[in-house]
Amino acid sequence: MTNMATPLTPCVDMQTISRLFVRYKGHYGGLWTCRASSDEEWQWVMEDWLEELSRFSLDVLRAAFKKSMTEFVTAPPTLPQLVQLCIKESGVPNVQQVIRLMVNRDFSHPLVKMVYDKIGSWTLSNGKEEEIQRKAKEYYTESLSQFHVEPEREWLKLADYNAKPKELPPPDKIPSAEERRGFKERMAEYQKMADEAKEKLKDNRQKEFDYSKLKPGAREFDELLFSEYKAYLVGIPENMVLTLSVQDAYARMRFLAERDQAEYLKKAGYVPPNQRPHDESPKGSDRNGRPTKVYKTWMND
């Protein structure tokens, strides 16, 4: 093992790892030196530590080293244990902190947003606690590794996301007890208003017709009476509709729909056949404008 003590450099490099090992050897003695039996093995160990710790800043490693000296009194820390201390010192939230921040939609760290995107808002809102815990632990390690590869890029992505205006969350599909109570109260109020309106209009009798003569196609159908019936129902104001019978009310709705149908179709872009240009015959038709047959009939014509 190399015992050369060099001052800490601005970044975590092999000299930093060498200095770290010297400090651990001086503090733990044989508990540290027994981890490798030759200089070659120590070189491999140092390379492993450098690979894992080089993703942290020098200040983070210094703080983690000081904490390791107090938390690991009887035995030196392993590489995973020191990495966890570095993660804590770097401000990266742990799994439980990530879950709490996700539930509160507090995306103050890229790792929170990364795990949130993998789990999904529906699971966080409707999933069981055991399922959320399991998925969070599963995606946390994967997201943490991804974050340490390019932390600057993940911070920029989070800044872009937080800069965008947020949409309001969709309303809960299941109404609360207070909402159901309010709905019933409003329905009762509307029903009372409808009953009062009917009471005021009960003396306003509507004109009666012989319905046997109002059915198109029937033997006794009277076209003039039907036109009069249609004009009468269409001309009734909205505040008098409550005085109509159910049959007349449905007939009025049908007549109004027929009256407004042309306007609706016009707004939708429909052009009647008699208003379309006839510069050229439609494709697939003969001289008389009849469509050309594509398949033969059962008579083979």
CA-based nearest residue to 119, from 107, 130, 131: 131
Q: Name the residue among 163, 11, 148 with its Cα closest to residue 92.
A: 148
Bridge partner list, 291: 285
Contacts of 105 (CB under 8 A, 6+ apart): none
What is the pLDDT at residue 199?
73
| 133's tokens | 């815990």
The pLDDT, as a whole number, for residue 195 is: 78
Q: Note the pLDDT of residue 224.
A: 92
Query: Helices (H), strands (E): how many in the chain?
Result: 13, 0
Residue numbers in the chain where pLDDT is lower than 50: 1-9, 280
In Å, how far from its chain's centre is CA 98?
19
| pTM beyond cutoff 0.75 | no
